Amino acid sequence: MKTTRITVSEVGPRDGLQSIASVMPTDAKKRWISALYDAGLREIEVGSFVPAAVLPQLADTRELVEHARTLPGLTVAVLVPNLRGAEAAVTAGAHKVTIPLSCSETHSLKNVRRTHAQMLDEVRAIARLLGSLPPSQRPHFEGGLSTAFGCTLEGLVPPRRVVELAEALIAAGCDEVGLSDTTGYADPAQVRSLLRAVWAAVGRERLKGIHLHNTRGLGLANALAALDLGITTLDASQGGLGGCPFAPGASGNIVTEDLVFMLEAMGLDTGIDFAGLLAARAVLAAALPAEPLYGMVPLAGLPKTFVQT
Amino acid sequence: MKTTRITVSEVGPRDGLQSIASVMPTDAKKRWISALYDAGLREIEVGSFVPAAVLPQLADTRELVEHARTLPGLTVAVLVPNLRGAEAAVTAGAHKVTIPLSCSETHSLKNVRRTHAQMLDEVRAIARLLGSLPPSQRPHFEGGLSTAFGCTLEGLVPPRRVVELAEALIAAGCDEVGLSDTTGYADPAQVRSLLRAVWAAVGRERLKGIHLHNTRGLGLANALAALDLGITTLDASQGGLGGCPFAPGASGNIVTEDLVFMLEAMGLDTGIDFAGLLAARAVLAAALPAEPLYGMVPLAGLPKTFVQT
């Protein structure tokens, strides 16, 4: 009997689609999101409220939030880079907003042209906005600690700095923080030690999720390390969309299909039906025929012994 | 400071080369084995003593054992299917002989045309042969429990059967048993429960190694699960040779390069130098230009933060 519920948070519509050149038509995105929902996914990051000039692939995020809100029980998540994005997210009715804060200030400056202090100002402004809303309309507010395991620009990111930024995000008004292995640098021992360090500072209820990449093949091993310690939310991208595991620099999110297989095989409850997941993958593949999709289980097939209960 | 020593047992020259159509020239095999040794590998399965008519790719195993024996401190391992193979291994001077016993009797019958009882007779005959040798010339004798995590023919392999066969192998004279995920069915929870069950029956000193495949992407997660419980020997194949992770039915050994990266990044001591491993990979690639080589770290590169101490 399965007792532990694990949330697989699908980030393909945001992280996957923002990393590819093709623009997926809005109707196809809606079909894909609905198919993911039908498979049992109950948290989907549907887009990002950034200027269309920056990420034209995600210019329809508002329409996708509206569509996703029609799916009962779905947590509709979006990324926001700043207060303006958060305002759009609130207007659209997102249930969860995540602001990324790069632990590497060099990366932060290069990526969003903001220092840590400037980003924390944005966080405080967003927290004020959300605090002004009636609780029933207030989205959950997460701070995503990107480059938490190392940076391609700065190299080592001291764990002490990650802990301090986690504390600063909570102090600035985030409900929760998440750890993100943006660069695919993490190893299982590091995942464990960093989780313990951040938990010691902000409490376990303030850090329940992790965003892992498979750039160096350790994605699922890192996921296991996090699960063993009690992490209950794992980001993943269907078909590893947007990240070629064999291309340096690519994002390489862990693949939803392989993650769900691992979790279910271990007897953990994802609520996700594998056949439904393959149906959603087919929707994605049909909409983006030129994009490579990854994942070992979709190609090798499920073991003869695999039974979903 | 690194304290835990993990043995990465390279099985590419046997498991990799037996799974491909190309025949690697003997001189190239010797260069590859020497390059793996130079990188720090101290256990290499150099071949299999099977009739050349069955596996022409491995017909030069005797010559490879002789070559590998010239490398100081290297444990020269070979696979043997029966007494005849063990006799050849002893004559050649192998330090370790492994006889595979498929936990699925259907698979055993199909693969080597022998029942479990017949295989155990071979094990007893080999044990008698080895027992007649002076201790200094007696190779370590391992029984490899293949299809221990499930079988493509029989499906579920009851853990009870794996435990009974482990006990039977030890009773028949094996020094040690190993668990092998021949089919790529294993998940981390299963790895842990099966290790515990076999240890309870035969003792931890009788099971120190595991042979994992990456067919469904869980290879390194399963390795982590085994390491966490105290497994100290992990089989792997350079470049994942012989197993296309995207081809159903292929062997798909875990990739030596990725495994070594994970272990060293975690602070475990493999004694293996990553640059040396890439040099050995280049020798392999030059000798078999038509064979695809796998591995995420060789393609993505080491993290900027990775330092071998």
Q: Would the CA dihedral through B86, B88, B91, B97 be positive or negative?
A: negative
The CATH number of residue B62's host domain is 3.20.20.70
pLDDT digits (tens, 9 = 90+) for B1-56: 557 899 999 999 999 999 888 899 999 999 999 999 999 999 999 999 999 999 99
The distance of Cα A116 from the centroid of its chain, to the nearest Å, equals 21
Predicted-complex ipTM score:
0.96
Query: Residue A242: what pLDDT?
Result: 76
Stretch B106-132: mean pLDDT: 96
Instruction: Name the DSSP class of B298.
Output: H
Catalytic residue IDs of B: 244
CA–CA distance, A224 with A218 (Å, rounded to integer):
10
Establish if A15 belongs to a structural domain. yes
Degrees (nearest 5) of the Cα angle B85, B90, B92? 95
Q: Which residue of A has its CA nearest to B186?
A: A265
Q: What total number of domains does chain A contain? A: 1
Tell me the C-alpha distance between B105 and B115, whole Å.
Answer: 6
Q: What's chain A's average pLDDT?
A: 95
Q: What is the pLDDT of residue B21?
A: 84
Dihedral sign (CA A259, A262, A267, A272): positive
Alpha-carbon distance of B244 to B223, in angstroms, equals 19
Query: What 3-state DSSP class applies to A250?
Result: coil
Pairwise CB contact (< 8 Å): B303 & A218: no
**Is A174 annotated in the active site?**
no
Q: What is the per-residue pLDDT for A144?
A: 98
Q: Predicted confidence band at B243 (pLDDT cuts at 50, 70, 90)?
A: low
- Across the interface, do A297 and B155 touch by the CB < 8 Å criterion? no
Kindly give the parts of chain A with pLDDT less than 50: none
Q: Specify burial of residue A190 (Cβ count, 10 A radius: 0-12, 13-18, 19+).
A: buried
B-chain residues near A253 (CB < 8 A): none
* B308 domain residue, yes or no: no
pLDDT score for A309: 66
**Through-space distance between the first and last CA atoms of chain A, rounded to whole angstroms:** 8
Does residue A306 lie in a domain region? no
CA distances from B49 to B6, B16, B64, B128, B278 (A): 27, 15, 11, 18, 29
Calpha distance A253→A240 (Å, rounded)? 5
Min Cα separation B307/chain A (Å): 11
Say whether pLDDT at B242 is over 80.
Answer: no
CB contact under 8 A, A184 and B217: no
Chain A residues within 8 A of B188 when measuring between CB atoms:
224, 262, 266
- Residue B228 to residue A223, Cβ atoms within 8 A: no
- Chain-wide mean pLDDT for chain B? 94
Nearest to A265 among B187, B248, B261 (CB): B187
Structural domain includes residue A183: yes
Contact B214, B220 (CB under 8 A): yes
Closest CA relative to residue A65, chosen from A82, A83, A84, A49: A49
Q: CA A3, CA B108: separation in Å to the nearest integer?
A: 37
Distance of CA B243 to the CA centre of its chain: 14
Q: DSSP secondary structure string, B138-174?
A: --EEEEEEETTT-BTTTB---HHHHHHHHHHHHHHT-
Q: Which of B156, B188, B248 sits opposite A300 (nearest CB)?
A: B248
Query: Between A155, A215, A305, which is nearest B300 by CB?
Result: A215
Q: What is the mean pLDDT of residues B68-78?
A: 98
The answer to whether the beta carbons of residues B145 and B169 sit under 8 Å apart is yes
Residue A21: its pLDDT value, please?
A: 84
pLDDT for the residue A250: 55
Q: Which pLDDT does position A243 carry in this prediction? A: 66
Interchain proximity A215–B296, CB inside 8 Å? yes
Residue-wise over A79-100: b if at least 16 C-beta within 10 A, else e? bbbbbebbebbbebebbbbbbb
Q: Å from B186 to nearest chain A CA?
A: 9
pLDDT for A2: 59
What is the per-residue DSSP string for A154-223? Answer: TB---HHHHHHHHHHHHHHT-SEEEEE-TTS---HHHHHHHHHHHHHHH-GGG--EEE-B-TTS-HHHHH
Interval A180-196: pLDDT, tens: 999 999 999 999 999 99
DSSP characters over B64-101: HHHHHTTSTT-EEEEE-SSHHHHHHHHHHT-SEEEEEE
Yes or no, beta carbons of B297 and A189 under 8 Å apart:
no
Q: Using a pLDDT cut of 90, give the percent of chain B over it.
A: 89
Q: B111 pLDDT band (50/70/90 cuts)? A: confident
- When scoring A2, A147, A161, A220 by the number of chain B Cβ atoms within 10 A, the one with the most, hence best to mutate, is A220
Residue B309 lies in a domain: no
Residue A307 lies in a domain: no
Residue B78 lies in a domain: yes
- Report the percent of chain B where pLDDT is more than 70: 96
Nearest chain B residue (CA) to A247: B300
Tell me the C-alpha distance between A127 and A132, whole Å: 9
Q: Please state the rounded mean pLDDT for residues B286-292.
A: 93
pLDDT (0 to 100) of residue A48? 97
In a domain, residue A2? The reply is no
H-type alpha helices, chain B: 17-18, 26-39, 61-68, 83-92, 105-112, 116-131, 159-172, 188-202, 219-229, 256-265, 274-287, 296-300
A to B CB pairs, distance under 8 Å: 134
State the residue range of the domain holding B147: 7-300
DSSP string, A2-44: ---B-EEEE-IIIIIHHTSSS---HHHHHHHHHHHHHHT--EE
Tell me what pLDDT residue A111 has: 86
Residue B160: closest CA among B207, B193, B189, B186 = B193
Residues facing residue A101 across a β-bridge: A145
